[in-house]
Amino acid sequence: MVFNEPSIKSFISFSENIFSEVKNKNYTELYLIDNSLKTHSNLPKEIISIIDSNEFISKYFDIKYLYRRNKAYATIVIYNKCYKHRLIELGSLVASKLDNGNWRLNSSLKSNEEFNFALGWGLNQYKFNLFNNFSHLNIKNKKNKRELVSTLSGVFYGKELINIPSSDMGPESLEKTFIDFAEYYGLISEITKGDNIKNNFPLIYAVGKASTQGPRLLEMNYNVDTNYPLITIVGKGVCFDTGGLNLKPSQYMRNMKKDMGGAASVLSLANIIIRNKLKIKLKVLIPAVDNDIGSKSMRPGDVYNSRAGLKVEIGNTDAEGRLILADTLTYADKFKPALLIDFATLTGAARVALGPDLPAYFTSSDKIANIINNICLKQEDPLWRLPLWNNYNKWLNSDVADTNNISKGSFAGSITAALFLKKFTNTKNWIHIDTYAWSDSSRPGHSIGGDILGVRSIYKFLKEFIKK
Ligand SMILES: [Zn+2]
């Protein structure tokens, strides 16, 4: 093994270290100044004179250093109004421009704005498999610190899970990681595998049976003994997707270690929920498989039973994510959740439609969609709704089974994937999220590689949802 299973504990202490007190209080002041403000009365004179001198020429933001005996004792960041509602992006950009060091934030930001700036700063600190290379930021608000740690540890943990290559993050390692996570929070986990998968989750079995690491369903429950509403989150855990016998071309197979990005997203979300003690019952479900090639591989034209009883024809072995999700959603229904959410790196078609930065989401509920749409742009963590367009259901028809796993044509592939999933759940409040879980290049708040998208927004949405 090159990479051990990541432990949530190490990401919590890493996130705490970013905002911890520094010995001897040896900080450089970081003055964060909104250029659109008319007065800057509480600032030291030398800083006001710099602002008034209009030395800041950048259209967006600029950084200046103040020196005393050849040593910078203060850093001034002045930003224009375009960043007023993009403070997460600004925090990340500023952190990326400064050397590693210890900074103390000096600003007139409100508490929630300070949170956003510090969140952006924190998001910029993640580097794969590295815990000792980061910049401290000292902020005033203790509550903000706590929530920053819960959010960042979740996001970092999820990114790390995706970034670990499938040689060290197969179904067995994902299971171990899952159990370690549950134990850290004192939760009981249940693992279904072997004959229990074969007999009760026929589609999960069909997808995973060719791998040397058998298919399994991972489950954990939080707040079991409460009367809180049950919210179930499901994450696609295809640890590596070769495409199966419908083999992927090289360029599409290259990053398929990320095909468990849905699983990483739900663990990331679970971490934020649990650390913030959200008043919900939470059930986390991850079907974990490899979509491999071997004598046991499912074949195009095969027909399998599903847990729901519908017979499914395999039109294409590369449409495997929806198969393992189908059985898992049916299982989730059994417990009558108030809300059921799945995260999955499901289709390339969602990327053709919306690109890498915008996970597509589907729901039949306009009420849910209105809340999400109101939240996600403010969170700088967008999700974009696509329709469950029933007329396309007929494209999934099969001559030999109740449904095909792929559509006859090539149009609207993310919609037909969502329609396929819908056949397997009766939960009224259901949200399906089709995410990329990856950044092809780094941009503010998003390092290159594994990425956690939409999770911060869904967490905020959950807080609203349970209020209703
Ligand atoms: Zn696939």
In tens, the pLDDT along 36-55 reads 887 777 888 888 888 887 77
Are residue 170 and residue 77 in the same domain, yes or no?
no
Could you tell me the pLDDT band of residue 353, with boundaries at 50, 70 and 90?
A: very high
The DSSP string of 302-365 is -EEE-TTS-EEE-S-TT--HHHHHHHHHHHHHTT--SEEEEEE---HHHHHHH-TT--EEE-S-
State mean pLDDT over 95-100: 92
Total domains present in the chain: 2
Q: How many CA atoms lie within 13 A of 135 on its CB side?
A: 27
Give the environment of ion ligand 1: residues with CB less than 5 A.
241, 318, 320
Q: How many CA atoms lie within 13 A of 205 on its CB side?
A: 16
The residue among 447, 232, 238 whose CA lies nearest residue 344 is 238
Note if 322 is an active site residue: yes
Q: Which residues contact 262 (CB under 8 A, 6 or more apart)?
A: 234, 235, 236, 237, 321, 342, 343, 344, 345, 346, 433, 435, 437
Are residue 168 and residue 77 in the same domain, yes or no?
no
Q: What separation in Å is there between the alpha carbon of 163 and the centre of ligand 1?
A: 18
Q: Could you tell me the end-to-end alpha-carbon distance of the chain, in angstroms, rounded to an integer?
A: 48
Question: What does pTM read for this prediction?
Answer: 0.97
Can you give the pLDDT at residue 44?
87
Are residue 281 and residue 409 in the same domain, yes or no?
yes
Note if 216 is an active site residue: no
Domain assignment of residue 12, yes or no: no
Q: What separation in Å is there between the alpha carbon of 95 and the centre of ligand 1?
A: 37
Domain assignment of residue 150, yes or no: no
User: Is pLDDT above 70 for 265?
Assistant: yes
State mean pLDDT over 57-74: 82
Taking the CA atoms of 151, 79, 439 and 369 in sequence, report the sign of the dihedral they define: positive
Domain assignment of residue 148, yes or no: no
Domain assignment of residue 319, yes or no: yes
Can you give the pLDDT at residue 39?
78
Can you give the pLDDT at residue 126?
97
Can you give the pLDDT at residue 57?
67
Which pLDDT tens digit goes with each residue over 376-403?
999 999 999 999 999 999 999 999 999 9
Can you give the pLDDT at residue 133?
86
What is the span of the domain harbouring residue 373?
155-467
Domain assignment of residue 280, yes or no: yes
**Rounded CA gap, 121 and 103, in Å?**
11
Domain boundary at 87, 107, 138, which? 138
Domain assignment of residue 223, yes or no: yes
The residue among 351, 350, 364, 358 whose CA lies nearest residue 415 is 350
State mean pLDDT over 70-94: 92
Q: What separation in Å is there between the alpha carbon of 430 and the centre of ligand 1?
A: 23
Of 281, 322, 351, 423, the active-site residue reads 322
Instruction: Assign residue 105 the CATH number of its domain.
Output: 3.40.220.10
Token pair, residue 230, equals 């049950």
Give percent above pLDDT 70 in the chain: 99
The residue among 161, 163, 157 whose CA lies nearest residue 15 is 157
